[in-house]
Amino acid sequence: MFYFQLSSNNPNWLKSGEKLSATWTSRDAESGISKTEYCVGSTPDGCQIKRMTDLPINAERVTCHDCSLNLYTTYFITVRVWNAAGLFTIGTTNGTRFDATAPITGKIHVKKPIVSCIHNCTLTGNITGFADEESGIKSCSFAVRNSTHYLTGFVNVGLSGRILVWGLTFTHARSYFLEAECENNARMVSRRAQSPHILVDATPPTKVDEVCFVDIVYNTSLIIAYF
């Protein structure tokens, strides 16, 4: 039996520093594998970029170290496996593209810039404006922090962009803010965006002890005292 199967784990997107690669499984119970070779093309089953090149006979992985990757090009690795009877089978990857840059950083909009809560507090907001022209945004996440440390870890919200976090404990007269980052499909993460500061004011206005009303017309004043 002649068996050959390309792995489904071959990546769809590569980032800077990564190489084009593929893995597979092959075997022949009768005559055995006699030759394994591969090529690289810009079309399925094509060899426009790298011609058919021999690999070790029983190889099940290849990395193209001399393939230069460019934006907006889809790369296909085609593997051809031969048995000792002179028969062969071919498999081609689904196609891999290259993304050289992380997503563009967006913004965070908060619903309430001033809150009066101290215990079991909730914050809401939205992540907007993150974008990636090449591989697209895969997911976004956010965290809550103050000026010195994080109150939460980063929470993945997928592509919804909706921020909802509860159970927070705040300190009166201190500022907090949200941070967000997004990852593209090439596994590159954007710079973090910060929301405007969220101020905690948990006390009412100070009691007024004396109010002075001035009558400009009659040049007199009236003082009302509160006891």
Q: Taking the CA of residue 36 as centre, how many other CA atoms within 13 Å lie in the half-sphere pointing to its CB?
A: 20
Residues of the chain with pLDDT under 70: 1, 8, 208-227
Domain membership flag for residue 225: no
Same domain, 129 and 196: yes
pLDDT of residue 226: 43
Tokens 């404990």 locate to: 169
The answer on 54 and 19 residing in a single domain is: yes
Q: Decide if 221 is inside a domain.
A: no
Pair 193, 134 in one domain: yes
Whether residues 125 and 92 share a domain: the answer is: no
pLDDT tens readout for residues 137-189 = 999 999 999 999 999 999 999 999 999 999 999 999 999 999 999 999 999 99
Rg of the chain taking only CA atoms, in angstroms:
31
What's residue 99's pLDDT?
96
Q: Which class for 4: exposed (0-12), middle (13-18), buried (19 or more C-beta within 10 A)? A: buried
Give the integer Cα–Cα distance in Å for 84 and 30: 9
Query: Is the pTM for the entire model greater than 0.85?
Result: no
**In a shared domain, residues 21 and 90:** yes
Do the domain assignments include residue 220? no
- CATH number at 155 reads 2.60.40.10
Cβ neighbors of 216 (< 8 A, separation 6 or more) are none
Q: Say if 124 falls within a structural domain.
A: yes
91 plus 156 within the same structural domain: no
- Provide the pLDDT for residue 220: 47
Answer yes or no: do 135 and 117 share one domain.
yes
| Residue 166 to residue 184: CA distance in whole angstroms | 27
Same domain, 28 and 94: yes
> Which pLDDT does position 6 carry in this prediction?
87
Query: Into how many domains does the chain fold?
Result: 2
pLDDT at 20: 94
Q: How far is CA 205 from the centre of its chain?
A: 44
Range of the domain at 19: 2-99
Same domain for 147 and 77, yes or no, is no
The reply to whether 182 falls in a domain is yes
Q: In this structure, is residue 207 part of a structural domain?
A: no
Instruction: Give the pLDDT of residue 11.
Output: 83
